């Protein structure tokens, strides 16, 4: 079976069996991939409202019933405890472990959030012949904290984190049109051009991820990033939380081209 024919369920099965314990970038590219955030029920309502009020960094794909590990809307029958290649477990805001299965850690009060990620729109950019520099350079996308505050809710507050992809102006215009069609994957950019206008002092010093080359004639284009809710969650230092490990996403059954 070629990589292009794989379905979301195939990738989840590989993760569940332990065959896949690394990044899902480029796997089953037709299917929406998702950031995973798991928090106890006493934080879940505030976190859900935070996502709802900050939809560009936190597009909500699914929220489980308290105690349930099944994301019924986007992957009926799946299990968020086993179907992500690798997890990060946080205790009081500090990274505690990076297991490939969280079944033994599951609790009756946990709620799982699946939030859209940029892999889907990057596939669409590539289909349109647009460059995605960090994929060309085989590294992680550069991410930056901005001075744009998210709308705070309860204990959740902090700056918008953005990804950066360099493009020429005409490519950037095409990328805006294309990515605006994927609101469930962060949608259109939030800024282009002068990094200082959104509080980024140095493009060669990303806060997360890797440095990519900005060529002559290109401008940096910035999209809202799914690291935003994770950074906000860590700042709130919850007693217990679980996320996916960077790049190791939950792959849904929903096609990126579906109009939700």
Angstrom distance (rounded) from CA 190 to CA 144 = 13
Residue 56 binds a copy of itself (CB under 8 A): no
Considering only residues 211, 219, 235, 247, which one is a binding residue for a copy of itself as defined by CB under 8 A? 219
| Of the candidates 235, 237, 243, the residue with the CA atom closest to the CA atom of residue 159 | 235
Between 103 and 180, CB nearer to a copy of itself: 180
Residue choice 193, 237, 257, 260 for contact with a copy of itself (CB under 8 A): 193
Residue in 133, 191, 244, 254 binding a copy of itself, rule: CB under 8 A? 191
Q: Kindly determine how many residues on this chain lie close enough to bind a copy of itself according to the rule CB under 8 A.
A: 18
Residue 180 as a binder of a copy of itself (CB under 8 A): the answer is: yes
Neighbouring-strand partners of residue 209? none
Whole-number Å distance between alpha carbons of 223 and 57: 8
Residues 123/181, Cβ–Cβ less than 8 Å: no
Please identify, using beta-carbon distances, which residue of 60 and 176 lies nearer to a copy of itself: 176
Shortest approach of a copy of itself to residue 194 CB, angstroms?
8
42 versus 194: smaller Cβ distance to a copy of itself: 194
Q: Can residue 190 be called a binding residue for a copy of itself (CB under 8 A)?
A: yes
**Site residues (CB under 8 A) for a copy of itself, limited to 142-171:** 169-170
The minimum distance between CB 182 and a copy of itself, in angstroms, equals 12
Q: Given candidates 19, 95, 128, 197, which one binds a copy of itself under the rule CB under 8 A?
A: 197
Interacting residues with a copy of itself (CB under 8 A): 169-170, 172-174, 176-177, 180, 188-194, 197, 217, 219
């Amino acid at each position: 079976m070629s990589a292009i024919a794989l379905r979301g369920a195939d990738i989840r099965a590989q993760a569940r069996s332990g065959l896949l314990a690394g990044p899902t970038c480029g796997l089953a590219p037709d299917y929406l991939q998702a950031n995973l955030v798991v928090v106890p029920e006493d934080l879940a309502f505030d976190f859900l409202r935070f996502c709802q009020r900050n939809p560009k960094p936190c597009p909500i794909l699914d929220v489980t019933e308290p105690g349930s590990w099944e994301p019924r809307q986007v992957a009926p029958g799946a299990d968020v405890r086993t179907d992500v290649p690798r997890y990060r477990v946080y205790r009081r805001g500090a990274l505690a472990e990076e297991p490939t299965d969280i079944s033994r850690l599951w609790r009756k009060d946990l709620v799982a959030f699946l939030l859209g990620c940029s892999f889907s729109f990057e596939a669409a950019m590539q289909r349109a012949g647009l460059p995605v520099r960090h994929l060309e350079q085989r590294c992680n996308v550069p991410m930056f904290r901005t001075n744009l505050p998210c709308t705070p809710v309860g204990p959740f507050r902090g700056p918008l984190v953005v990804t950066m992809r360099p493009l020429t102006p005409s490519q950037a215009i095409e990328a805006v049109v294309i990515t605006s069609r994927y609101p469930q994957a962060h949608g259109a950019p939030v800024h282009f051009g002068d990094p200082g206008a959104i509080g980024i002092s140095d493009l060669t010093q990303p806060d997360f991820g890797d440095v990519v080359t900005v060529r002559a004639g290109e401008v940096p284009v910035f999209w809202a990033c799914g690291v935003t809710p994770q950074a906000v969650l860590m700042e709130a230092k919850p007693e217990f939380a679980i996320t996916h490990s960077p790049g190791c996403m939950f792959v849904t059954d929903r096609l990126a081209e579906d109009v939700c």
